[in-house]
C-alpha cells in the first residue's frame, strides 16, 4: 500500500453559481482532489448544483450574507479560495470579499470572452486594487483586462479547462450533409437583454426560420429545428406557438428539454446555430458545423476565439444565414482543441504554488516573531 506523504492537510474551498463557471472549474477541482493531503470543499449555488453533483457539494439555495460566509470560513478554514464568476448572484464575490479580509489567497477562473469588469460586481474593493489571481483563456483576454485596469501581475493565461476537457474526448468527424435527407438543426438562444437588446425573442428566430426555409428549398431537404432556451431565459407560455405561427412551411419547430444535458442534444444535431454561447464551442468539439448569428457588436477577443474554433459569425439576415448553412463541410479540424491544452494542470498548479507560498510566508512570519520574542 502506498503511504500518504507526511505533512499538513491543506484545504481549498471552491465556489460557483452559474453553469458556465461551474464547468470551468470542475476539471480543476477533480485534479486537485487527486493530490495527497489536499481537501477541496465545494459550495454550489443555482445551476452549479447539478454540475457539481458528483462532488457532493454544500448547496446554497440563496446568496450568503457576510456573517454566513465568515461563519463558514471560521468553521472550515481554507488555505485558498477557488471561484468562478456568475451573473445574478453574489455568492462567489461574497466569498472573495471575505477571503480578502481573512487574507486567504484567491484564484478566479474566467469562463467566457465578455464583461470582465462587471464580473466583480458587488466587490468591496476596486477592480484595479484586486488581489485575486485571475486565469484567462488567451493573451487577447489578458490584454483587454489589463487595459480595463486589472493588475497585470495577477493575470495568468491558462486556457479554459472546460474546453480542454471537451476537446480531449476526441474530435468526431461528421457525415457530409449532402448524404442526409432530413437535417436536424439545434438553435441555442440567449437572453436578448444580456446582449443589450430588448426585442421580441421570437423576431430573430423568425429570421432563422426564413433562412432555413431558403436553404431547404435550395437543397431539397427537410428541416427539424429544435430550440434550446438559455438557462437564464423564461420563455412565455405561448413561445412555441408563436414561432410555429411564423415558421415557413417545411420547417418543423420544437422546444428542447433544457433539463437534459446539452451534449446529447448537440450529438443528435447536424447543424448548431446560436448567438454567443459556450454551446457553439462545445458543438465544434463534436465536429459539428457551428454558426453564430451577430445581433450586436462582440469583443474582438470573442470574435478571434470563434474564428479559432471554426465558428462562423454571420450577419443577421436570411440571405447571410442561408449562405452559411452547409458551407462548413471543410471544418473537419481538431485544431481548436489545441488552444486549451494544459489549462487544468496550469490552474491546479497555480493553486498549489499560492498555498505553498502562503505557508512559507506564514512560517517566516512565525520565525521572525519567535526571534523578536526572544531578543
Is residue 29 a part of any domain in this protein? Answer: yes
DSSP-H helix ranges across 41-187: 48-51, 66-75, 91-101, 139-147, 161-168
Same domain, 294 and 188: yes
Residue 3 counted as domain residue: no
Nearest one of 42, 365, 359, 243 to 256, comparing CA atoms: 243
In a domain, 112, yes or no: yes
Assign 364 to helix, strand or coil: helix
Do the domain assignments include residue 313? yes
Asked if 64 and 122 sit in the same domain, the reply is: yes
Residues 243/202, Cβ–Cβ less than 8 Å:
yes
* Chain position carrying cell 464568476: 85
Residue 308's nearest CA partner among 140, 187, 116 is 140
Query: Torsions phi, psi of 143, nearest 5?
Result: -65, -40
DSSP string, 35-83: STTEEEEEEEETTHHHHTGGG--EEESSPPPHHHHHHHHHHS--SEEEE
Spatial CB neighbours of 351, under 8 Å, sequence gap ≥ 6: 12, 28, 32, 80, 82, 107
Same domain flag for 362 and 256: no
Taking only Cα atoms into account, the Rg of the chain, rounded to an integer number of angstroms, comes to: 23
Supply the pLDDT for residue 369. Answer: 44
259 located within any domain: yes
User: What is the predicted pLDDT for the residue at 220?
Assistant: 87
Quick one: pLDDT at residue 295? 81
Are the CB atoms for 135 and 158 separated by under 8 Å?
A: yes
In whole angstroms, give the CA distance from residue 33 to residue 21: 18
Domain count for the chain: 2
Measured CA to CA, the distance from residue 108 to residue 15 in angstroms comes to 10
Considering the domain boundaries, does residue 2 fall inside one?
no
Measured CA to CA, the distance from residue 116 to residue 14 in angstroms comes to 20
Q: Give me the pLDDT at residue 359, please.
A: 54
Do 350 and 314 lie in a common domain? no
pTM to 2 decimal places: 0.88
5 part of a folded domain? no
Rounded CA-CA distance 3/294 in Å is 56
Q: What is the reported pLDDT for 174? A: 63
- Please tell me whether residues 135 and 104 are part of one structural domain: yes
189 and 304, same domain (yes or no):
yes
Sheet of strand 271-274, all strands in order from the earlier edge strand to the far edge: 251-255, 222-228, 182-188, 271-274, 289-293, 312-314
Task: Identify the pLDDT of residue 374.
Answer: 41
Residues 144 and 299: beta-carbon distance below 8 Å: yes
Q: What is the CATH number of the domain that holds 119?
A: 3.40.50.2000
The domain of 150 spans 10-166+340-374
Is 62 found in the same domain as 157? yes
Say yes or no: 99 and 187 in one domain: no
Q: What is the pLDDT of residue 317?
A: 87
* Same domain for 77 and 150: yes
CA 302 – CA 95 distance, rounded (Å): 28
| Residue 4 domain flag | no
Task: Assess whether 216 and 196 both reside in one domain.
Answer: yes
Helix H or strand E encompassing 252: strand 251-255
Indicate if 62 and 160 belong to the same structural domain.
yes
φ, ψ of residue 119 in degrees (nearest 5)? -70, -15
- Is there a single domain that holds both residue 140 and residue 267? no
Per-residue pLDDT of the chain (375 residues; tens, 9 = 90+): 334 445 689 999 999 999 999 999 999 999 999 999 999 999 999 999 999 999 999 999 999 999 999 999 999 999 999 999 998 899 999 999 999 999 999 999 999 999 999 999 999 999 999 999 999 999 999 999 999 999 999 999 999 999 999 888 765 666 666 667 788 999 998 765 555 555 677 888 888 999 999 988 888 888 999 999 887 777 788 888 988 998 888 899 999 988 888 999 999 999 999 988 999 999 998 888 899 998 888 899 999 999 988 899 998 888 889 888 867 544 545 555 677 899 999 999 999 999 987 655 544 444 444 445 543
Amino acid at each position: 500500500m502506498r503511504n500518504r506523504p507526511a505533512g499538513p492537510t491543506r484545504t481549498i474551498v471552491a465556489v460557483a453559481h452559474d453553469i458556465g463557471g461551474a464547468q470551468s472549474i470542475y476539471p480543476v477541482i477533480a485534479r486537485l482532489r487527486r493530490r495527497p493531503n489536499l481537501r477541496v470543499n465545494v459550495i454550489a449555488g443555482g445551476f452549479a448544483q447539478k454540475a457539481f453533483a458528483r462532488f457532493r457539494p454544500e448547496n446554497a439555495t440563496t446568496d450568503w450574507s457576510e456573517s454566513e460566509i465568515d461563519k463558514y470560513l471560521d468553521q472550515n478554514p481554507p488555505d485558498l479560495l477557488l471561484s468562478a464568476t456568475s451573473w445574478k448572484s453574489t455568492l462567489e464575490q461574497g466569498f472573495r470579499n471575505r477571503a480578502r479580509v481573512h487574507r486567504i489567497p484567491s484564484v478566479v477562473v474566467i469562463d467566457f470572452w465578455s464583461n470582465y469588469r462587471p464580473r466583480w460586481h458587488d466587490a468591496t474593493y476596486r477592480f484595479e486594487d484586486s488581489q485575486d489571481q485571475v486565469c484567462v483563456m488567451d493573451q487577447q483576454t489578458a490584454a483587454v483586462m489589463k487595459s480595463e485596469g486589472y493588475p497585470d501581475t495577477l493575470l495568468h493565461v491558462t486556457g479554459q479547462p472546460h474546453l480542454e476537457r471537451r476537446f480531449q474526448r476526441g474530435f468526431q468527424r461528421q457525415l457530409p450533409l449532402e448524404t442526409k435527407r432530413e437535417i436536424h438543426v439545434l438553435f441555442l438562444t440567449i437572453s436578448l437583454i444580456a446582449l443589450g437588446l430588448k426585442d421580441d425573442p421570437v423576431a430573430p428566430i423568425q429570421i432563422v426560420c426564413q433562412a432555413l426555409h431558403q436553404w431547404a428549398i435550395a437543397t431539397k431537404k427537410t428541416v427539424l429545428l429544435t430550440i434550446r432556451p438559455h438557462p437564464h431565459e423564461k420563455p412565455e407560455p405561448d413561445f412555441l406557438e408563436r414561432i410555429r405561427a411564423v415558421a415557413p412551411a417545411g420547417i418543423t419547430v420544437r422546444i428542447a428539454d433544457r433539463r437534459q444535458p446539452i451534449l446529447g442534444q448537440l450529438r443528435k444535431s447536424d447543424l448548431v446555430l446560436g448567438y454567443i454561447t459556450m454551446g457553439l464551442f462545445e458543438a465544434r468539439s463534436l465536429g459539428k458545423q457551428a454558426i453564430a448569428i451577430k445581433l450586436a457588436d462582440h469583443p474582438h477577443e470573442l470574435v478571434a476565439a470563434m474564428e479559432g474554433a471554426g465558428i462562423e459569425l454571420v450577419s443577421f439576415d436570411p440571405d447571410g444565414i442561408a449562405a452559411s448553412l452547409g458551407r462548413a463541410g471543410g471544418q473537419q479540424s481538431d485544431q481548436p482543441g489545441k488552444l486549451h491544452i494544459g489549462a487544468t494542470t496550469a490552474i491546479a498548479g497555480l493553486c498549489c504554488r499560492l498555498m505553498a507560498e502562503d505557508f512559507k510566508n506564514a512560517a517566516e512570519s512565525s520565525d521572525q516573531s519567535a526571534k523578536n520574542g526572544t531578543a
